[in-house]
Amino acid sequence: MLAAQLINTSFPTVHLLDKASFALQLMDDYDVQHLCVVTDEKLVGIVDKNTLLDIDETAVIASLQDEFITASVHADAHFLAGAKLLALHELSLLPVVSTAADLLGVITAKHMLTALTSHVGADTRGAVIVLEMELRQYSFGEIVRLVETNDAYVTQLNTATDLQTGMLLVTIQINRIEVSTIVATFQRYDYSVKYYFGEENYQNELKENYNHLLSYLNM
């Protein structure tokens, strides 16, 4: 998905000679903490609500130009590039610009969150399994194969590094709710299953199987 597909073209902007009080009122009306500042339809920067509150309401926005946030995404960029900028600068909206720096519209943080939810499959029915492993152990092909041996398939797969341990976390979403056989398969192939979110009864089933194994080993 491109940034252009998430643009809100009707969001208000402010100009350099607008007063701080005008910008603050717009922020309250549209429930945002930031607004785009434009001159002749070109983006000058982003003004922050906290910065506006520090000056006299009658002061013009131009007096804050040195404190404008300079962040934007091109319309033909992948929308994840915009998500990164929103998080980095803690923005409530992100300007979308053309190659000539013309402001085309904005992506609000709320709209971006909706897009991210869809992108990671959070709105799709299915179980989620999180594996923990060393990077050298990661094999996309094997993970998919092990899921498919249980008559299921992977609908989403994302990786992230645990900053505390340095281990790779692999989050897998599958097209089934029942997870017991798939989790058991991963464990049989020496994968560490860190979390699972599927059939509610599986936690009790896993505990029972563990107790049975201990009983067998103690015989």
| Model pLDDT for residues 53-104, shown as the tens digit of each residue | 999 999 999 999 999 999 999 999 999 999 999 999 999 999 999 988 899 9
* Greater model confidence, 118 or 210: 118
- Note whether 58 and 105 are same-domain residues: yes
Tokens of 118: 């869809």
* 154-161 vs 73-74, strand pairing mode: unpaired
**DSSP H or E run through 188:** helix 180-188
**Domain shared by 39 and 144, yes or no:** no
Number of domains within the chain = 2
pLDDT digits 0-9 by tens, 26-49: 999 999 999 999 999 999 999 999
Residue 33 token pair: 């903490």
Q: Is 122 inside any structural domain?
A: no
Q: What CATH number has the domain bearing residue 36? A: 3.10.580.10
Strand partners, 60: 19
101, 149: one domain: no
Domain boundary among 88, 117, 146: 117
> Do 167 and 83 lie in a common domain?
no
In a domain, 123, yes or no: no
CB 61 within 8 A of CB 16: yes
User: Could you tell me the pTM of the whole model?
Assistant: 0.68
Range of the domain at 108: 3-117
What pLDDT is attached to residue 212? Answer: 54
Categorize the per-residue pLDDT at 119 as very low, low, confident or very high, splitting at 50, 70 and 90: confident
Please indicate, yes or no, whether residues 26 and 132 belong to a single structural domain of this protein: no
- Tell which of 117, 145, 166 closes a domain: 117
Give CA–CA dist 201/81, Å, rounded.
39
* Same domain assignment for residues 44 and 142: no
pLDDT (0 to 100) of residue 83: 92
Longest CA–CA span in the chain (Å) reads: 84
User: CB of 143 within 8 A of CB of 25?
Assistant: no
At residue 70, what is the residue type? Answer: T
Task: Judge contact between 152 and 174, C-beta under 8 A.
Answer: yes
Same domain, 49 and 91: yes
